[in-house]
C-alpha cells in the first residue's frame, strides 16, 4: 500500500476525480460532521440576500478533506506527515473537481508532493503541498 522510493520519480503524478456535480446535501453533511454551520455554506437565502453571493458554496475544508482522500489513497494510510493548502477559488454546488499530486522531491524516506485541485472550468480551487513517509 505504501509508496516505495525505488518506484518513484520526480514528476510522477497521481490523479483522482474528487466529486462530480457537487450536491448541496454533501455540503450540509460536511457542516454537520465538522461543526462549521456557517450559513454561507447551507443557507441559500442568507447567502444570496445578506452576504450577496450567487449561492451557497462549499467550505474550503470540504475541498481540503476531499483532496486529502486522494492523497491518502496515493501515499497509504497513516503515512502523511504534512499537508497544507491555500484556497484559491470558491467551490460551488454543481462543481466537478479533479485533483493531482505531483512528486516534487524525494529525501530520506520522505516524498514531497505538490497538490492541486481544479474545477470543471480548469480553474484552480486549491493549491498546496503534502509530505509522506515512503518505504
Partner 1 sequence: MAVEKFPVEASHIMMFARSVGDDNQIYYDDEYAKTTEPGTVIAPPTFAQSSAQFDPDYFLRPKIGEPWFGSGGQPTGITRSASGGGGGGGLHAEQHFEYHRHVKPGDVLTASVGPGKTWEKEGKRSGKLVFSETVTEYRDQNGELVITARGVGVRTERPVDQ
Residue 86 CB, nearest approach to partner 1 (Å):
5
Cβ atoms of residues 135 and 1 within 8 Å: no
Residue 109 CB, nearest approach to partner 1 (Å):
15
Q: Which of 87, 119, 115, 90 is nearest to 101 (CA)?
A: 115
Per CB under 8 A, 84 contacts partner 1: yes
Count CA atoms closer than 13 A to 43's CA, side-chain side: 12
Cβ atoms of residues 86 and 126 within 8 Å: yes
CB neighbour list of residue 26: distance below 8 Å, 6 or more residues apart: 19, 62
Build a one-symbol-per-residue string for 28-67: x at contacts with partner 1 by CB under 8 A, - elsewhere. -xx-xxxxxxxxx--x-xxx-xxxxxx----xxxx-xxx-
Q: What is the DSSP letter of 89?
A: S
Instruction: List binders of partner 1 among 92-121 (CB under 8 A).
Output: none
Compare residues 64 and 106 and give the one whose CB is closer to partner 1: 64
Per CB under 8 A, 2 contacts partner 1: yes
**Phi and psi for 55 in degrees, rounded to 5?**
-165, 175
Compare residues 12 and 44 and give the one whose CB is closer to partner 1: 44
Residue 39 CB, nearest approach to partner 1 (Å):
4
Sites of contact with partner 1 (CB under 8 A): 1-2, 18-19, 26, 29-30, 32-40, 43, 45-47, 49-54, 59-62, 64-66, 68-69, 71-73, 76-87, 90
Amino acid at each position: 500500500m505504501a509508496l516505495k522510493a525505488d518506484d518513484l520519480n520526480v514528476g510522477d503524478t497521481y490523479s483522482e476525480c474528487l466529486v462530480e456535480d457537487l450536491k448541496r446535501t454533501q455540503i450540509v453533511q460536511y457542516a454537520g460532521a465538522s461543526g462549521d454551520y456557517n450559513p454561507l455554506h447551507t443557507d441559500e437565502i442568507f447567502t444570496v440576500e445578506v452576504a450577496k453571493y450567487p449561492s451557497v458554496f462549499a467550505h474550503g475544508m470540504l475541498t481540503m478533506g476531499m483532496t486529502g482522500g486522494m492523497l491518502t489513497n496515493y501515499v497509504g494510510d497513516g503515512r502523511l506527515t504534512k499537508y497544507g493548502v491555500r484556497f484559491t477559488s470558491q467551490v460551488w454546488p454543481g462543481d466537478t473537481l479533479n485533483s493531482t499530486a505531483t512528486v516534487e522531491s524525494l529525501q530520506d524516506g520522505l516524498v514531497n508532493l505538490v497538490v492541486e485541485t481544479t474545477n470543471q472550468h480548469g480553474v484552480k480551487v486549491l493549491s498546496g503541498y503534502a509530505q509522506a513517509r515512503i518505504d
